[in-house]
């Protein structure tokens, strides 16, 4: 459950990440709109970038919360995904990913989706590792840190309900 030497606390800004994709025909349905599943994959990758950088370890995706697709994205559009560590618990961390579509022809950006993912840090054998504390610095980071605590309680309640039903 531990790194050999516990890693020092790290600010959110150290691991904030950005990923850009151009939507190609292979990413789209027959109407030329981005497939939801492809966007989910990119969200997972963008989340993993921040999780790897913060924890300095391998990670596995434990969960992805509810996901809405707010506007359609089309072939040729640029998709920008920004990820940051919202909060660290013990071996897990919540990562927020916000997705934007950039219509470069008219210089317009629209919010496409926001997602919260939980990653668990693991070593090469799959053993869970303690994750270094994350330090929120800005007001926005502090708000996300507090909100992540409330979301963790909702997830735990959901897991308990699921486990009691499957017993």
Ligand X SMILES: CC(C)(COP(=O)(O)OP(=O)(O)OC[C@H]1O[C@@H](n2cnc3c(N)ncnc32)[C@H](O)[C@@H]1OP(=O)(O)O)[C@@H](O)C(=O)NCCC(=O)NCCS
**CA distances (Å), origin 95, targets 29, 34, 74, 137:** 28, 23, 26, 16
**Residues from 86 through 105 that contact ligand X (CB under 6 A):** 89-92
Give yes or no for residue 55 binding ligand X (CB under 6 A).
Answer: no
Q: Does 127 bind ligand X (CB under 6 A)?
A: no
161 near ligand X, judged by CB under 6 A: no
Residue 78: phi, psi to the nearest 5?
Answer: -100, 135
Does position 63 interact with ligand X (CB under 6 A)? The reply is yes
| Contact call for residue 159 and ligand X (CB under 6 A) | yes
Chain-centroid distance, C-alpha 141: 14
CA neighbours closer than 13 Å in the CB half-sphere of residue 134: 32
Give me the least distance between CB of 48 and ligand X, in Å please.
Answer: 10
Q: How far is the CB of 145 from ligand X (least distance, A)?
A: 14
Compute CA 20 distance to the chain's CA centroid, rounded to the nearest angstrom: 15
Report, in Å, the least distance between residue 118 CB and ligand X. 4
Our finding on whether 57 is near ligand X (CB under 6 A) is: no
User: Which CB sits closer to ligand X, 63 or 114?
Assistant: 63
Which residue lies nearer to ligand X by CB, 18 or 149?
Answer: 149
Total chain residues near ligand X (CB under 6 A):
13
Out of 7, 45, 60, 80, point to the residue binding ligand X (CB under 6 A). Answer: 60
CB 39 within 8 A of CB 69: yes
The rounded distance, in Å, linking the Cα atoms of 148 and 152 is 6
Residues 134 and 50: their CA atoms lie apart, in Å, by 12
Residues that bind ligand X (CB under 6 A): 60-63, 89-92, 118, 120, 128, 155, 159
């Amino acid at each position: 459950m531990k790194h050999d030497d516990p890693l020092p606390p790290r600010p959110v800004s150290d691991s904030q990440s950005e990923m850009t994709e151009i939507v190609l025909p292979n990413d789209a349905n027959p109407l030329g709109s981005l497939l939801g599943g492809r966007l989910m994959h990119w969200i997972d990758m963008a989340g993993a970038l921040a999780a790897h950088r913060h924890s300095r370890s391998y990670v596995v995706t434990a969960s992805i919360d509810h996901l809405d697709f707010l506007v359609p994205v089309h072939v040729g559009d640029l998709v920008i995904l920004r990820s940051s560590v919202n909060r660290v618990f013990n071996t897990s961390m919540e990562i927020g990913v916000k997705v934007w579509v950039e219509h470069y022809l008219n210089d317009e950006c629209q919010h496409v989706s926001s997602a919260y993912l939980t990653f668990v840090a693991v070593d090469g054998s799959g053993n869970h590792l303690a994750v270094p504390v994350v330090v929120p610095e800005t007001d926005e980071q502090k708000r996300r840190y507090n909100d992540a605590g409330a979301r963790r309680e909702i997830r735990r309640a959901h897991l308990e309900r699921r486990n009691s039903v499957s017993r």
